């Protein structure tokens, strides 16, 4: 079958730079889905995205759907003909619906009888006829939160549409999409080549745009070109560019013909905290900052221009002129904020609502200060430092710097606390309270910071659950999922010996001190929610669901201990004895459950005098030895399960040679007690009967 290349390009006003790549990928995926649904095979698919265009080039697309044999079943033969062999109305109606005479119908023999059937041939539709609808459907399915219309047109898209290229081979597909007629004319760079560019065939699209139109249409290629130019510009400055991947993608969504330009600013601005200068450069101007060999900020920046000016020095000077007021603002805020100590902002917290039902930020700071003290004492940290950190935790939110750069909350608190001569642990905790800020982010390093971070997150969790506003579906306005995962990560990955239920109860208690009364059962709700986040944490880490369930069954309250058990069960599964011991535990669990359902008495201890068979005596000896070792030795979960692997042989022999549910009630109860003790040994680590084969 003949094949041709297909090209669609949608030309628009500047598309949202942060969403550009996602739009392009979704558009390309929508085109591919549409082609597959119409059974149109093809070769490679290329996606293009620039500020003023989305495009897809499909190589070697079938020119038509494959022809298909059709088979349509009609009435049963018995109902299709009367006693004289003449066709009934059912047969005649079926034939008419198929466009044939009754005589042209065939008979289909099945195990359920004979049926009239019409077999035909359906010619595949041309790709050219199908492609406009495929493109429309792909555009309709794009996730665009708010579509806009333009002029007096009814068409809606994320931005006004100005041109449409639809080529199949060298021919234009005649269509109208989003109120624009198709053609072969694209547009080049808005300034370098504003006149139309005629595309003769799909394969020349990207090369022609780049060489003639001064547009790098391939998003990834443009992104990497920007990376290379920025890095080279930094080297020429004698430093290294710090490239934030999100910023790099955003800049790639803003320019069609990238040209990196290096600029500088007055060295005096380096007296301002680097994070503030970087926020001004990145957030306001989309600049990349430069550091020296020691990682210290240099008085330079690199911007990416969308034009290749004849006078790039003018472009540089213009950007330097724009950034100076931003840096001057940061300098002013820095100087102004330090005119009073960080503690001086505490009173202002009383005027800022944390949550209408839960009070102000001042109220929250009082609660987390008290809770941080409890946690710090358990971690062996200084009580006074934890309390002071909690009291100051939200003060920097009242500063002018954080008012201008909200992303600097905590960071500026650390600077201001250090400037005021607060203890180093308190200053560090100002920043660490917000850690981890995102998946994979660093964790608080100091005990005071850990205590404050846990207290802050737990206070939010307990409070929001307490007023009945837990996350629902994808809605999580207070970021409770992130808060729960943050608490768990800190405790697990920093190996903190903290009881989660105790922490939740302490948080509830501090709300009560402030006059809040919550419904009974709140502690269980918060704990269950955090367990579900723990499940997600381990799923993301590749832990099998049955391993998680095996540990969950022992009701562990210490997340760090939970993690030790997870690791132990994972190691146990790799042992040769694991499968047999898992099966034996399942058998023991089932026997004990049946005994419980039948109200059979199962004592806690084994009566040695009632042991009759050698197999049960041997198993009891092994259990006694293991119990003594676990009780009196230093307990390690992984080692314990490795030790218990030695029970495989005596357990197998026991189940092979000993009948548990005998008629002698004393012997039966004694053997059930033996299984109960066997199961209890494993439950010291996990319920391995939950493991799958």
Give the pair of three-digit tokens for residue 423. Answer: 């203890």
Q: How confident is the model at residue 681 (pLDDT cuts 50, 70, 90)?
A: confident
Rounded distance, CA 402 to CA 63, Å?
60
Question: Per residue in 429-462, pLDDT tens?
Answer: 999 999 999 989 999 999 999 999 999 999 999 9
Give every CB contact of residue 265 below 8 A, 6+ residues apart in sequence. 299, 300, 301, 320, 323, 324, 327
Residue range 66-87: average pLDDT?
84
- Average pLDDT on 352-375 reads 97
Q: What is the mean pLDDT of residues 109-122?
A: 83
Distance CA 254, CA 561 (A): 49
Asked if pLDDT for residue 602 goes beyond 70, the answer is: yes
| Res. 42 pLDDT band, cuts 50 70 90 | very high
Report the distance separating Cα 314 and Cα 317, nearest Å.
5
Q: Please state the rounded mean pLDDT for residues 520-537.
A: 96
CB distance 13 to 134 below 8 Å: no
What does the pLDDT read at residue 314? 95
User: Where residue 627 falls among pLDDT bands split at 50, 70, 90?
Assistant: confident
Q: Whose CA is closest to 286, among 17, 12, 14?
A: 17
For residue 85, the model assigns a pLDDT of 84
Looking at CATH, the fold of the domain delimited by 567-690 is given as Isoleucyl-tRNA Synthetase; Domain 1 (1.10.730)
Domain map (residue ranges) of the chain: 3-65+126-211, 71-118, 219-337, 344-542, 567-690
The structural architecture, per CATH, of the domain 3-65+126-211 is 2-Layer Sandwich (3.30)
The set of residues, in sequence order, having a beta carbon less than 8 Å from that of 100 and lying 6+ positions away, is 118
Q: What is the pLDDT of residues 143-198, one digit of tens each?
A: 998 899 888 888 899 999 999 999 999 999 999 999 999 999 999 999 999 999 99
473-485 average pLDDT score: 93
pLDDT at 490: 98
φ, ψ for residue 173, nearest 5 deg: -85, 120
Q: How far apart are CA 428 and CA 107, in angstroms?
A: 85
Q: Would you give the end-to-end CA distance of the chain in angstroms?
A: 50
pLDDT of 514 > 80? The answer is yes
204, two tokens? 């020349």
The predicted pLDDT at position 218 comes to 97
Q: What is the structure's pLDDT at 469? A: 94
Q: H or E element: which one contains 232?
A: helix 219-236
pLDDT for 693: 65
Distance of CA 618 to CAs 218, 608, 645, 674, Å? 73, 11, 15, 11
- pLDDT tens profile 282-336: 988 999 999 999 999 999 999 999 999 989 999 999 999 999 999 999 999 999 9
Residue 547's pLDDT band (boundaries 50, 70, 90)? very high
Residues 258 and 304 sit within 8 Å (Cβ to Cβ): yes
pLDDT at 69 over 80: no
- Is the separation of the CB atoms in 179 and 29 below 8 Å? no
Average pLDDT over residues 94-103: 88
Mean pLDDT for all residues in the chain: 93
Tell me yes or no: is domain 344-542 CATH 1.10.3210. Answer: yes
pTM of the model: 0.83
């Amino acid at each position: 079958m003949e094949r041709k290349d297909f090209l669609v390009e949608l030309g628009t006003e500047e598309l949202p730079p942060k969403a550009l790549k996602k739009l392009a990928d979704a558009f390309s995926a929508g085109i591919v889905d549409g082609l597959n649904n119409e059974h149109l095979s093809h070769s490679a698919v290329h996606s293009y995205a620039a500020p003023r265009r989305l495009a897809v080039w499909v190589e070697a697309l079938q020119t038509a759907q494959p022809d298909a044999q059709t088979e349509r079943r009609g009435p049963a033969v018995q109902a299709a003909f009367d006693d004289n062999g003449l066709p009934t109305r059912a047969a005649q109606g079926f034939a008419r619906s198929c466009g044939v005479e009754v005589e042209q119908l065939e008979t289909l023999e099945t195990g359920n009888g004979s049926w009239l059937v019409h077999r035909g041939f359906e010619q595949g539709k041309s790709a050219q006829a199908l492609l406009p609808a495929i493109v429309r459907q792909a555009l309709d399915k794009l996730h665009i939160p708010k579509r806009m219309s333009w002029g007096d047109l009814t068409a809606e898209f994320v931005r006004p549409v100005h041109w449409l290229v639809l080529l199949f081979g060298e021919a234009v597909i005649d269509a109208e999409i989003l109120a624009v007629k198709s053609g072969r004319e694209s547009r080049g760079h808005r300034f370098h080549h504003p006149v139309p560019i005629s595309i003769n065939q799909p394969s020349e699209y990207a090369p022609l745009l780049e060489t003639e139109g001064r547009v790098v249409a391939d998003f990834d290629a443009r992104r990497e070109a920007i990376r290379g130019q920025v890095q080279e510009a930094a080297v020429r400055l004698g430093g290294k560019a710090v490239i934030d991947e999100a910023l790099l993608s955003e800049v790639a969504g803003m320019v069609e013909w990238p040209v990196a330009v290096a600029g500088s600013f007055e060295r005096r601005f380096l007296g301002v905290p680097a994070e503030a200068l970087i926020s001004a450069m990145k957030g306001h101007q989309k600049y990349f900052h430069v550091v020296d060999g020691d990682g210290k900020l240099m008085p330079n920046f690199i911007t990416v221009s969308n034009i290749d000016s004849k006078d790039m020095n003018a472009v540089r000077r213009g950007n330097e002129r724009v950034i100076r007021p931003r840096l001057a603002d940061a300098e002013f805020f820095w100087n102004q904020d330090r005119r009073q100590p960080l503690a001086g902002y505490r009173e202002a917290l009383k005027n800022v609502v944390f949550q209408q039902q839960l009070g102000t930020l001042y109220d929250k700071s009082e609660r987390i200060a008290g809770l941080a003290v409890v946690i710090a004492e358990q971690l062996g940290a200084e009580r006074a430092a934890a309390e002071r950190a909690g009291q100051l935790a939200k003060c920097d939110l009242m500063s002018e710097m954080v008012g201008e750069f909200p992303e600097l909350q905590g960071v500026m608190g650390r600077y201001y606390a250090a400037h005021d001569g607060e203890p180093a642990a308190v200053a560090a905790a100002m920043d660490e309270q917000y850690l981890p800020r995102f998946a994979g982010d660093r964790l608080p390093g100091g005990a005071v910071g850990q205590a404050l971070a846990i207290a802050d997150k737990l206070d939010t969790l307990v409070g929001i659950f307490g007023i009945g506003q837990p996350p629902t579906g994808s809605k999580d306005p207070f970021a409770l999922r992130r808060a729960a995962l943050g608490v768990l990560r800190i405790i697990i990955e920093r190996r903190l010996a903290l009881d989660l239920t105790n922490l939740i109860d302490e948080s509830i208690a501090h709300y009560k001190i402030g006059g809040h009364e919550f419904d009974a059962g709140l502690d269980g709700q918060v704990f269950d929610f955090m367990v579900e986040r723990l499940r997600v944490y381990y799923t993301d880490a590749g832990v099998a669901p049955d391993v998680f369930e095996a540990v969950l069954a022992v009701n562990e309250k210490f997340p760090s201990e939970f993690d030790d058990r997870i690791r132990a069960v994972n190691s146990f599964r790799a042992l040769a004895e694991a499968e047999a011991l898992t099966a034996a535990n399942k058998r023991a669990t089932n026997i004990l459950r049946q005994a419980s359902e039948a109200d059979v008495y199962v004592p806690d201890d084994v009566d040695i005098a009632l042991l009759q068979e050698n197999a049960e005596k041997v198993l009891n000896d092994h259990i006694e030895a293991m119990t003594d070792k676990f009780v009196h030795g230093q307990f390690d979960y992984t080692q314990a399960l490795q030790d218990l692997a030695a029970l495989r042989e005596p357990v197998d022999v026991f189940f092979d040679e000993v009948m548990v549910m005998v008629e002698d009630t004393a012997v039966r109860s004694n053997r059930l007690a033996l299984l109960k003790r066997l199961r209890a040994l494993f439950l010291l680590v996990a319920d391995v009967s939950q493991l799958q084969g």
